[in-house]
Structure 1
Amino acid sequence: MSNPTPVVFASIFVSSLLAAARERGYEIEGFLRDAGIDPEQPQDLEHHVTVDQYVALLRKTIKGLDDEGVALFSRKLRHGSFLLMMRSALTGNTLGAALHEFTHTLRLLQDDLNPLLVDDGRQLRVELHFISGQVRSRQFAHVLLLRLLWRVMAWLEGGNLRPVGIDLEFAQPDPIEPYQKLFPTALRFSMPCSTIWFDSAALQAPVRRDSSHLDDYLDKALLDLLVPAIPTRVSDRVRAYLREERARHSAWPDLDQTSVALHCSASSLQRHLAQEGASFQNIRESLRRDWAIYRLKTSTLSTPTLAEELGFADSASFQRAFKRWTGQTPGQVRKGG
Structure 2
Amino acid sequence: MTDSMKTQEAANISALENAPAGWRARLRGVRQASMLYLLAALAILIIVFGAMNPGAFLGAYNLREVFTEAALLLIVAVGATFVIATSGIDLSVGGVLVFSGVISTEVMSAMGGKGWGAVVVGLATSLACGAIFGSISGLLVAKAHIPPLIATLGTLGVSLGLAQVVTNGADLSGVPETLTSGIGLGQLFSTIPWIVVIAAVVTVWAAISLRSTRFGQYTLAIGSNKEGARRAGIQVDRQLIKIYVLAGTLAGLAGFLNLARFATTSIAGHSTDNLQAISAVVLGGTSLFGGWATIAGTVIGVFIPTILQNGFVISGVPPFWQQVAVGVVLVIAVYIDQLRRRSRDK
Tell me which protein shows more strand as a share of its residues.
1
Tell me which protein shows more helix as a share of its residues.
2
TM-score (norm 2): 0.24
Which protein has greater RCO, CA pairs closer than 8 Å, 6+ apart?
2
TM-score (norm 1): 0.25
